[in-house]
Structure 1
Amino acid sequence: MTNTPITDGATARLGDPYGACEQQRCEHLATILCAVPHVMQILRATRDLGLPDAWLVSGGIYQTVWNVLTDRPLLHGIKDFDVIYFDGTDPSYEAEDLVIRTVNTALPDLAHLVEVRNQARVHLWYEQRFGRPYRPLDCSMDALTTYAARTHAVAARLTHTDELVIHAPFGLANLFGMRLVPNYGQLNPETYAEKALRMKAQWPELEVVPWQTSEQRG
């Protein structure tokens, strides 16, 4: 893992899909996350609790990076840190609630910022809450493909040998390039527009790629 600080030139290369390889982006992302105490605290607690297929995902990662890149306070604009896990053996609310309370106990200083969800039960409540059906997921990483923006689809977890594992099905160039890019695999333009508006207000440097209809995309 490299400890080379990200300069403006290096950031530009990481944000260019052709300017760096994905391994370099993963290494830089790991370097940033390893230097943020509260992120590492969440990753260690999640690992040590032994939650199945558990990852820190989405905003707590990419928004942390944006704050580092723009020299803002580390918690600027971050609503929560999403911890996901997958336990299909018991998709009940009661089982998930027990895990939530266990994580909160392990992270008393961060409990108000950590949101824990069992991905094996999202399809059971999603349509009632958001008005759209949601297919059952196969694993935690399957959830990343359903996020409204490709930029959001990033996950990290810590192994028992303290190796930071990064997963980003759409790559990390948009994260480092501060570009919000739609995910057309999940037809959710309303959520995309809502998130884009909030994020642009928090990070004015952000480039928002407009959601296009299928006709506009050709």
Structure 2
Amino acid sequence: MFQGGIHLILKNEKDIIQLVRDDAWMMDILHAAKTLKLPDWWVCAGFVRSKIWDVLHGFTERTPLPDVDVVYFDPGCCDEAIEKELERALFSINPHIPWSVKNEARMHLINNMPPFTSSVDAIANFSETATSLGVTLDENDELKLTAPHGVQDAIHMIVKPTPYFLETQEHAQIYERRISKKNWSTTWPNVRIVHIQ
């Protein structure tokens, strides 16, 4: 577990917050997202998880992200066109980032799930516990981490389903299809996948 010649051991949420805080690229993304002034906003999923796994694998270069997920919660305006406008605003700040902006107040419809009550509730219902992570900046620019299922699976590189995806056979199949498609162990060989079928 080396990065830049420094031995890193991640034990808890505080360690992950420090990891993000020390990463200028990640902090630039958070500051860009904050300019949108969105309600209940977070940069989440692979943005945080991939950083953890890269560091634990000792990678000296960042694994490219297919997208940088910015989520927010605004039940008063669920028009997808607004999300595209927000993405354009972020591209104008940094055109080199693969921005993806989603209002979690409507995403349950896309994913055929019960309505979410907040962005954190949505993050809690991502497919895997190791992906159910998000970071944001508060009004004082303090870095905050949400980890509805804790951080232990992420820092032990264990991929397993969140409770929702254990509820039915159909949910389990969605999880298994996603795991197969992502094929994370080719990028991060120390990742251990927990299958449920």
Q: Does TM-score exceed 0.5, indicating one fold? A: yes
What is the SS of the residue equivalent to 1:185? helix
Partner of 1:106: 93
Preserved CA contact (<8 Å) 1:83 1:116: yes
The answer to whether structure 1 residue 202 and structure 2 residue 181 are counterparts is: no
Preserved CA contact (<8 Å) 1:151 1:179: yes
Across the aligned residues of Structure 1 and Structure 2, the Cα RMSD in angstroms comes to: 2.1
2:19 aligned partner, one-letter code: I
Summarize the Cα distance change of 1:118–1:76 in structure 2 as closer, same or farther, 3 Å threshold: same
Give the alignment partner of residue 26 of structure 1, picking from 10, 13, 21: 13
Structure 1 unaligned residues grouped into runs of 5+: 15-24, 127-132, 213-218
The answer to whether structure 1 residue 68 and structure 2 residue 60 are counterparts is: no
1:118 aligned partner, one-letter code: N
Larger Rg, first or second structure (1 or 2): 1
What is the SS of the residue equivalent to 2:165? coil
Preserved CA contact (<8 Å) 2:165 2:175: no
Partner of 2:39: 52
Partner of 1:154: 133
TM-score, length-scaled by structure 1: 0.78
Q: Deviations over 1:89-109 (max 9, x none)?
A: 111122222222222222222
Partner of 2:147: 168
TM-score, length-scaled by structure 2: 0.85
Structure 2 unaligned residues grouped into runs of 5+: none
Q: Note the C-alpha offset of 1:52.
A: 1.2
Partner of 1:19: none
The answer to whether structure 1 residue 190 and structure 2 residue 173 are counterparts is: yes
Q: Note the C-alpha offset of 1:31.
A: 1.2
Moved more, 72-81 or 91-100: 72-81
The answer to whether structure 1 residue 119 and structure 2 residue 104 are counterparts is: yes
Partner of 1:138: 117
